[in-house]
Amino acid sequence: MKVFLFSKKRAGIGALLLAAAVLLCVLLASTGTYAVYFGNALRKLPVYSVETQEKKVAITFDCAWGTDHTDSLLQTLAREGVRATFFMVQFWAEKYPEYVKKIADAGCEIGTHSQTHSYMSRLGRAEIEKELRSSCAAIETITGKKVELFRAPYGDYDDLLIQTAQEMGLYTIQWDVDSLDWKDLSAQEIAARIVGRVREGSIILCHNNGLHTAEALPIVLDTLRNRGYEFVPVGELILRENYTIDASGRQHAAA
């Protein structure tokens, strides 16, 4: 009798676990491709990297303060035939419209880095929409090109931010290779951090005004090219539809 009751109990637990698994699958399907499971909660993630068999990577530059080293970056990119992605804060774009134009005319891609460089996980929906709408409009006015990419300041995000950006037609982009160039590392240290961490589908984070970023860039490009890597803008690396994102933020083509 005890064995029979124990078996029923185990069967009941098994049924509950199966039902929970089915419910989770339904939730994942209904909440979109950004949803992944963390413990007892569903969480949305930006794109940190892309699963691909091709040796393609994207190098990105966040623009929020200054332009001291931007010409040098652009000269290196032009010489090497590389198109990068620049994420611009609105106040930077409005202060340096000639650089926004230079970057766009060089064939590089431009995304928004918000209006005010705030911690956007602390904002409500209306404030997020204002940050994104205003910053996109400022960039588009200068370049005449639609903004499709967004990077959250400080890498700070929550579900509401990613959902709102998605509803506004923006792909939220993070990174899986951090140069830490904002810490004023040497060119050799920056290059070593990048080339030692890159893999197929990586998104590399740099800053346009890092003290030694412009010196590191030729080293990075030459080393990775010698290893067979190709550089493409983020917009050409990411999947636009029919994808999932795993718990590490890596984007995969849907099965």
Q: 52-61 pLDDT, tens per residue?
A: 999 999 999 9
Q: Does residue 29 register a pLDDT over 60?
A: no
The greatest distance separating any two alpha carbons of the chain, rounded to the nearest whole angstrom, comes to 83
Say which CATH number the domain at 205 has.
Answer: 3.20.20.370
Distance, in Å, from the CA atom of 58 to the CA atom of 232, rounded to the nearest integer, reads 5
Global pTM reads: 0.85
Task: Kindly provide the residue ranges of all beta strands, DSSP E only, lying in 39-139, ordered along the sequence.
Answer: 41-44, 49-50, 56-63, 85-88, 109-112
Within this chain, do residues 61 and 25 fall inside the same structural domain, yes or no?
Answer: no
Residues 85, 69 share a domain: yes
Q: What is the pLDDT of residue 43?
A: 82
**How far is 113 from 136, CA to CA, in rounded Å?**
9
Q: Which domain holds residue 39?
A: 2-44
Q: Based on the domain organization, do 37 and 58 belong to the same domain?
A: no
The total of other beta-carbon atoms located within 10 Å of residue 21's CB is 10
Residues 21 and 93 in one domain: no
| Pair 54, 17 in one domain | no
Indicate if 57 and 164 belong to the same structural domain.
Answer: yes
Domain check: are 14 and 83 in the same one? no
Please tell me whether residues 225 and 204 are part of one structural domain. yes
Query: For residue 255, what pLDDT is reported?
Result: 83
Considering the domain architecture, whether residues 221 and 196 belong to the same structural domain is answered as yes
What's the pLDDT at 206?
A: 98
- 179-235 pLDDT per residue, tens: 999 999 999 999 999 999 999 999 999 999 999 999 999 999 999 999 999 999 999
How far is the first Cα of the chain from the last one, in angstroms, to the nearest whole number? Answer: 46
Average pLDDT over residues 136-149: 98
Number of folded domains that form the chain: 2
The residue count for the chain = 255
pLDDT at residue 18, rounded to an integer: 47
Identify whether residues 64 and 31 lie together within a single domain: no
56 with 126, same domain: the answer is yes
Would the pLDDT of 13 be above 90?
Answer: no
With cut-offs at 50, 70 and 90, classify the pLDDT of residue 28. very low
Three-state SS at 57: strand
**For position 155, what pLDDT does the model report?**
96
Does the pLDDT value for residue 95 go beyond 80? yes
CA dist., res. 16 & res. 110, Å (int): 48
**Same domain (yes/no): 140, 37:** no
